[in-house]
């Protein structure tokens, strides 16, 4: 694990220019911009004037974590997307913003993914994977709050489902404006199959990481917010 050899092909969900036609590209840019504007407003309400430094450092964390590769098939490795992970740790609003900034920086500085398809990539990896992942956590709220094991299991599912949902977003975008006539079933099978495998790795790392943070500083886990047990004062029989 994590010893992903550099010779492996890293399967990435970034899209190259030319994969989607021009109108589709414009539509998904608009969706991305509107989505991020809403996230920014909500993030500011949550973190007030601390938003920028906190989100900046969490973004640096996402960037560092994305360098972790794990093998999925012989000769191919996937890298962590981190969408569900940050959604559980800092909430979907700040989390989506962090992943989006990572994607923008990767496109501008590292030529990772096309500039025109950046909007669609933001929709898939910053919005869909984060919010679907968080949706899983909310849906399993009972399980999450019951025990650490419940939280870990929910985090695993959030990582898995979030990754597959992001791959489905890719397929939908391709179905709307894919620049090549290809059997959609093939694309669907390929993307979902591959990302189910990546999702298992993503889910395992998400689960173990969330478990570790919950053990050290449960107050930092967004998904556990408001579930801290009330402080119990035990005094020895004094009745004053």
Partner 1 sequence: MAAGHAHPLYRSGDSPVHRLPPEVKIVAALVGVCCVVATPRTAFGVFAGYLALLAGIWVLAELPFGWILRRSVIELPFVALVVLLPFTGEGPRVDVLGLSLSEPGLHGAWNILAKGTLGVLTSLTLAGTTPLRDLLLGLQRLHAPQLVVTIATLMLRYVDVIAAEAQRMRIARISRGHDPRFLWQAGATARGIGALFVRSYERGERVHLAMLSRGWTGTLPQLSDRRTTARQWLTGLVPAAAALGLAVTGWVIA
Give least dist CB 115 to partner 1, A.
5
Pairing of strands 69-73, 76-79: antiparallel
Contact between 129 and 83 (Cβ < 8 Å)? yes
Residues 68-87 that bind partner 1 (CB under 8 A): 68
Task: Report if residue 55 touches partner 1, rule: CB under 8 A.
Answer: yes
Task: Report if residue 114 touches partner 1, rule: CB under 8 A.
Answer: yes
Only segment of 95-103, 123-131, 159-167, 227-235 that touches partner 1 (CB under 8 A)? 95-103
Rounded Cα–Cα distance for residues 76 and 73 (Å): 5
Q: What are the structure tokens assigned to 120, written together?
A: 């669609």
* Cα separations in angstroms, 2 against 57, 69, 79, 112, 202: 23, 5, 9, 21, 11
Rounded Cα–Cα distance for residues 188 and 175 (Å): 10
Task: Report if residue 10 touches partner 1, rule: CB under 8 A.
Answer: yes
Binding string, residues 187-206; x marks residues near partner 1 by CB under 8 A = x--x-------------xx-
Give least dist CB 54 to partner 1, A.
4
Nearer to partner 1, 132 or 207 (CB): 207
Rounded Cα–Cα distance for residues 222 and 232 (Å): 23
Contact between 203 and 156 (Cβ < 8 Å)? yes
Which of 27, 31, 61, 168 is in the footprint of partner 1 by CB under 8 A?
61
Residues 20-49 that bind partner 1 (CB under 8 A): 21-22, 25, 36-37, 40, 43-44, 49
Task: Report if residue 179 touches partner 1, rule: CB under 8 A.
Answer: yes
Task: Report if residue 2 touches partner 1, rule: CB under 8 A.
Answer: yes
For 53-89, b where at least 16 C-beta lie within 10 A, e where not — what string? Answer: eebeebbebbbebbebbbbbeeeebbbbbbbbbbbbb
Site size toward partner 1, by CB under 8 A? 79
Nearer to partner 1, 67 or 231 (CB): 67
């Amino acid at each position: 694990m994590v010893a992903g050899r550099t010779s492996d092909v890293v399967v990435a969900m970034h899209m190259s220019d030319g994969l989607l036609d021009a109108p589709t590209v414009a539509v998904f840019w608009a969706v991305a911009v509107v989505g991020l504007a809403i996230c920014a407003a909500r993030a500011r309400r949550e973190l007030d004037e601390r938003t920028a430094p906190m989100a900046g450092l969490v973004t640096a964390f996402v960037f560092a974590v994305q360098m972790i590769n794990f093998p999925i098939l012989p000769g191919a490795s996937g890298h962590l997307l981190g969408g569900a992970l940050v959604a559980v740790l800092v909430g979907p609003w700040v989390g989506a913003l962090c992943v989006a900034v990572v994607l923008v920086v990767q496109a501008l500085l590292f030529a990772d993914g096309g500039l025109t398809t950046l909007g669609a990539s933001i929709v898939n990896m910053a919005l869909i994977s984060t919010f679907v992942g968080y949706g899983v956590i909310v849906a399993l709220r009972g399980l999450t709050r019951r025990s650490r094991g419940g939280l870990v299991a929910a985090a695993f599912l959030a990582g898995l489902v979030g990754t597959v949902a992001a791959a489905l977003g890719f397929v939908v975008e391709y179905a709307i404006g894919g620049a090549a006539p290809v059997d959609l079933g093939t694309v669907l099978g390929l993307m979902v199959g591959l990302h189910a495998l990546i999702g298992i790795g993503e889910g395992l790392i998400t689960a173990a990481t969330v478990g570790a943070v919950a053990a050290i500083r449960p107050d930092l886990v967004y998904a556990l917010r408001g579930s801290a047990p009330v402080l119990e004062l035990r005094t020895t029989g004094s009745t004053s």
